[in-house]
A and B are shown apart, each in its own frame.
Chain A
């Protein structure tokens, strides 16, 4: 089953390069990856597989080609009729992460280290029990939890609040998902089960699916807590980045929004102009409030609109005969692609 999940990222009409898919899943944020990721409509999947093994992925893609689920074209790979069928089969029968975009906002590693500890500590707290074996957790998770607990004035309310939040949150999903999710946690007098053990009890879920469900629901729970006011928000906040942009890009983008030109931003930040342009392209791709007309002038628009028609993915810069710099061309391409998308 392993390799079939990659079929989800391919299309029956658009040729797609597997390397772009891999880089998006691993969160390798070059402007080129992001641009093509946007064209493939897979940007929601940024950072969903941060530890993806390059060699293994390439071998799996080769297997999909060998099985004739994917066909090689000059511009990349496209789904065959059998590939379309297999993709649908996969979607119908397999657990798929339902809100992948959350993986851009929350630091998955840090949260998944913390969540089992949070549940166990609050569970034991509700029994006033201090004598228990703490679930394996890195020191940084223990520190983060201790720091947060020190902010809590009345800890006696925590069990009720957390229980209620989990009930509300899990109530949004099929009941079985909630059962699987909670079976993976350890709490008072109750040791959790491994994915392997759960798959014996619920054979319609493979071990891989159970682990996906665990990641998916854990991340959605973090997002759920983050959107609410209150204590739990403070726990997640240090591991979240709602801007989607990397730190340096975010600074450049804020200055851009304050009406500084790319040149001025470069001078102020003591960075190369090319770096700032990359920051702005990344912002244009990832944000929906980008003000294109601050860079592309009225005259530029006239030239661009006269030169290019049809699907922006097919446009080529050389058609402009150097009348407009590449940066503006790419911005225009992003703007029009988004309008179509």
Chain B
């Protein structure tokens, strides 16, 4: 299929005239029957690669995805685009629903699977009976034991692929160092398969990179209030704790005239839907979120991403700031930082791994749902029959790796030279352009917020009273 035919399909199904970087190359590979590892930065439309391929091939697409929230967002978008034959097989389903879906599994064009479903024999059998056009492994870095997000269940994918007679496969990730990329290929494909890699730079030149260090949270809050008043919205502020996301959301509401809402896993699914869609429709200026927000969200005009706390590593940081400036306009990423944040992040990320006490006292439970991530990881190693002493060594090493990643993040903060260059070097890339005024803030320089300031646009919709229900009913139900 030549590129003009491919563009016709793109126009027909999605209404776009052009592909983003890397998309057409991946799709062309797949249409030629080449299994591919795609490393495309956040915001470059990874999911379109398999969605369009599936539509062209007219065969079932299976997507393995590790995060329920991400899966739901992608399904929502597929449905929005008019694809109704889409389903998610996850541990959230009741037994009856699962049976009903499996009985009619061949009716679906896109089947999303959470990795733990691969342990289910019936699911395996039913899927093996389908004619699979494409197997997609989303967030493929989870398969790498060198990666920070290793998911043991992902190691089952190779066997599952084999069971499906090694169908055409697309592994997708936003960030992967060379080590991780090799590990993904090793853990997914067999040695005799030819593998293709499409890699695009993680660099997003339109996002200015800045760090602001304060000596206390009070100072941090004062600075935050000051800059959000000036910055062009919409924007996202990331937190490592739900409590802080709520607290700062309240503080900013009180101190500014901006429309702000928190977003995190503790909200009801109804509230999450409302908040997310109000933000998409520009009814909110700022979201105070945990990392649960933004995956799969395709909002193009986010002007800034501020991190109130440290992210766990540079991989997460690059993913999260990648939600800014998807329309190519100049945008801003600021990492706020106090020395005390290091301890908080150390606790959150490094202590989330099982320690010697957890390992010595672990009781394998067999296949059970709703176990913690810690238990899930340990379960995997115990199932492999690895001696306890060796498991301890594995986690000691991983703790060290996580610690090193945090240190890299701190180096990024402290680097006296160009932050973008540092970031790209971390991902084994070379900087293609020279450092300039649009690039990043050098250590010791202030961030020139005025550069990103703009006249506040007239808000599209200011809600200052609850509408009359009779009016709402008139709007909701168009009747003759």
> Considering residues B87, B96, B274, which has the most beta carbons from chain A within 10 angstroms of its beta carbon?
B274
A140 x B94 contact (CB < 8 A): yes
From B97, B270, B466, B476, contact of A163 by CB (8 A): B476
- For B100, list chain A residues within 8 Å (CB): 143
Q: Which A residues from 114 to 161 make CB contacts under 8 A with B?
A: 116, 119, 122-123, 126-127, 130-136, 138-140, 143, 159-160
Q: 6 tightest CB-CB pairs across the interface, nearest first?
A: A187-B476, A178-B469, A182-B469, A163-B477, A159-B477, A136-B269
Q: Which residue of A lies closest to B81 (CB)?
A: A131
Q: Which residue of B lies closest to A177 (CB)?
A: B469
B277 within 8 A of A: yes
A194 within 8 A of B: yes
CA A193 to CA B275, docked complex, whole Å = 8
Quick one: given A131-B80, A135-B270, A143-B100, are A188 and B470 in contact (CB under 8 Å)?
no
Taking A123-B476, A190-B476, A194-B271 as known contacts, 16 extra A-B pairs with beta carbons closer than 8 A to each other, sorted by chain A number, are: A126-B477, A126-B478, A127-B478, A133-B273, A139-B87, A167-B473, A182-B472, A182-B473, A185-B476, A186-B273, A186-B277, A188-B475, A188-B476, A190-B472, A192-B270, A201-B463
B283 within 8 A of A: yes
From A134, A159, A197, A201, contact of B479 by CB (8 A): A159
A–B pairs, 18, beta carbons within 8 Å: A126-B479, A131-B80, A133-B79, A134-B79, A136-B273, A143-B97, A159-B477, A162-B477, A163-B473, A175-B469, A178-B470, A181-B469, A187-B475, A191-B283, A194-B261, A194-B267, A194-B274, A201-B465
A183 x B475 contact (CB < 8 A): no
A170 within 8 A of B: yes
B432 within 8 A of A: no
B477 x A123 contact (CB < 8 A): yes
CA A194 to CA B276, docked complex, whole Å = 11
Q: Which residue of B lies closest to A166 (CB)?
A: B473
B479 x A183 contact (CB < 8 A): no
User: How far apart are A129's CB and chain B's nearest CB, in angstroms?
Assistant: 10
User: How far apart are A324's CB and chain B's nearest CB, in angstroms?
Assistant: 46
Give residues in B with beta carbon < 8 Å to A. 72, 76, 79-82, 87, 92-94, 96-97, 100-101, 261, 267, 269-275, 277-278, 281, 283, 463-470, 472-473, 475-480
CA A136 to CA B270, docked complex, whole Å = 6
CA A138 to CA B68, docked complex, whole Å = 13
Q: Which residue of A lies closest to B276 (CB)?
A: A133
Q: Which A residues from 180 to 222 make CB contacts under 8 A with B?
A: 180-198, 201-202
Give residues in A with beta carbon < 8 Å to B. 116, 119, 122-123, 126-127, 130-136, 138-140, 143, 159-160, 162-163, 166-167, 170, 175, 178-198, 201-202
- For A179, list chain B residues within 8 Å (CB): 466-469
Q: Which residue of A lies closest to B269 (CB)?
A: A136
**Main secondary structure on A side of the interface with B:** helix
User: How far apart are A157's CB and chain B's nearest CB, in angstroms?
Assistant: 10
B470 x A136 contact (CB < 8 A): no
- For B477, list chain A residues within 8 Å (CB): 122-123, 126, 159-160, 162-163, 187
- For A139, list chain B residues within 8 Å (CB): 87, 93, 97, 101
Quick one: given A140-B97, A163-B479, are A192 and B82 in contact (CB under 8 Å)?
no
User: How far apart are B273's CB and chain A's nearest CB, in angstroms?
Assistant: 4
A116 x B270 contact (CB < 8 A): yes
- For B275, list chain A residues within 8 Å (CB): 194
User: How far apart are A272's CB and chain B's nearest CB, in angstroms?
Assistant: 29
B466 x A202 contact (CB < 8 A): yes
CA A140 to CA B476, docked complex, whole Å = 24
Q: Which residue of B lies closest to A173 (CB)?
A: B469
CA A293 to CA B469, docked complex, whole Å = 52
- For A191, list chain B residues within 8 Å (CB): 274, 277-278, 281, 283
B82 x A131 contact (CB < 8 A): yes
CA A263 to CA B467, docked complex, whole Å = 61
- For B277, list chain A residues within 8 Å (CB): 133, 186, 191
User: How far apart are B403's CB and chain A's nearest CB, in angstroms?
Assistant: 37
User: How far apart are A329's CB and chain B's nearest CB, in angstroms?
Assistant: 43
User: How far apart are B259's CB and chain A's nearest CB, in angstroms?
Assistant: 9
B463 x A188 contact (CB < 8 A): no
Q: Which residue of A lies closest to B473 (CB)?
A: A163
Q: Which residue of A lies closest to B474 (CB)?
A: A163
- For B269, list chain A residues within 8 Å (CB): 136
B463 x A193 contact (CB < 8 A): yes
User: How far apart are B425's CB and chain A's nearest CB, in angstroms?
Assistant: 40
B464 x A201 contact (CB < 8 A): yes
- For A136, list chain B residues within 8 Å (CB): 72, 269-270, 272-273
A190 x B475 contact (CB < 8 A): yes
CA A143 to CA B468, docked complex, whole Å = 32
- For B94, list chain A residues within 8 Å (CB): 140
CA A179 to CA B468, docked complex, whole Å = 5
CA A159 to CA B478, docked complex, whole Å = 7
User: How far apart are A226's CB and chain B's nearest CB, in angstroms?
Assistant: 21
User: How far apart are B457's CB and chain A's nearest CB, in angstroms?
Assistant: 20
CA A143 to CA B104, docked complex, whole Å = 13
- For B81, list chain A residues within 8 Å (CB): 131
Quick one: given A134-B76, A135-B270, A136-B273, are A198 and B476 in contact (CB under 8 Å)?
no
Q: Which residue of B lies closest to A189 (CB)?
A: B475
CA A182 to CA B278, docked complex, whole Å = 16
B270 x A188 contact (CB < 8 A): no
- For A135, list chain B residues within 8 Å (CB): 270, 273
Q: Which residue of A lies closest to B271 (CB)?
A: A194
B271 x A160 contact (CB < 8 A): no
From B92, B261, B475, contact of A197 by CB (8 A): B261
- For B464, list chain A residues within 8 Å (CB): 201
From B267, B274, B473, contact of A192 by CB (8 A): B274
CA A187 to CA B480, docked complex, whole Å = 18
User: How far apart are A181's CB and chain B's nearest CB, in angstroms?
Assistant: 7
- For A180, list chain B residues within 8 Å (CB): 466
- For B476, list chain A residues within 8 Å (CB): 119, 123, 126, 163, 185, 187-188, 190
Q: Which residue of B lies closest to A214 (CB)?
A: B270
CA A283 to CA B80, docked complex, whole Å = 50
Q: Which residue of B lies closest to A132 (CB)?
A: B80
CA A183 to CA B468, docked complex, whole Å = 9
- For B82, list chain A residues within 8 Å (CB): 130-131
CA A182 to CA B275, docked complex, whole Å = 17
- For A193, list chain B residues within 8 Å (CB): 274, 463, 466
Quick one: given A131-B82, A170-B469, are A186 and B479 in contact (CB under 8 Å)?
no
